[in-house]
Amino acid sequence: MECKNEIRPIDLEQFLPEVIRFRQSGWRMGQICAVRTPGGYELSYTFVKDYDICTLRLSIGEETVVSSITPIYPCAFIQENEMAELFGVRVENLSHDYHHRLYRIERDTPFKEKG
């Protein structure tokens, strides 16, 4: 699992097995970022070990369900709740699901385009 500050596009089927490999190899979760794209999202999960940074990048459709990584990295629950609440990303199996009550905001999913 060599990684020298790279961004790796990854398929949804490969995503959880790769996250497990990062955990087993001693990588820490650095951040999770969601970006709205036409018809979907780009999700970036960044892992850090020593001076290496590796980002797994998922491009998914608007209705695609992504498995939570909280069973592997418990600290991911805040960022995954944020993706769901602010962008409308469908995340399943969150260990601590705030059910869109993480922030006090006036409207649901403010960063998701409304038709």
In whole angstroms, give the CA distance from residue 95 to residue 70.
Answer: 6
3-class secondary structure, 109: coil
Contact (CB, 8 A) for 61 and 39:
yes
The reported pLDDT for the residue numbered 86 is 84
Let me know if residue 104 belongs to a domain.
no
Let me know if residue 100 belongs to a domain.
no
Let me know if residue 21 belongs to a domain.
yes
Domain count, the chain: 1
- Residue segments in the chain with a per-residue pLDDT below the cut of 50: 115
Reported as a single tens digit per residue, the pLDDT across 40-59 is: 999 999 999 998 999 999 99
Nearest to 102 by CA among 72, 71, 80: 80
Let me know if residue 52 belongs to a domain.
yes
3-class secondary structure, 5: coil
Let me know if residue 97 belongs to a domain.
no
The reported pLDDT for the residue numbered 52 is 94
CATH number at residue 76: 3.30.460.80
Give residue 85's domain range.
6-92
Let me know if residue 103 belongs to a domain.
no
Let me know if residue 41 belongs to a domain.
yes
The reported pLDDT for the residue numbered 100 is 58
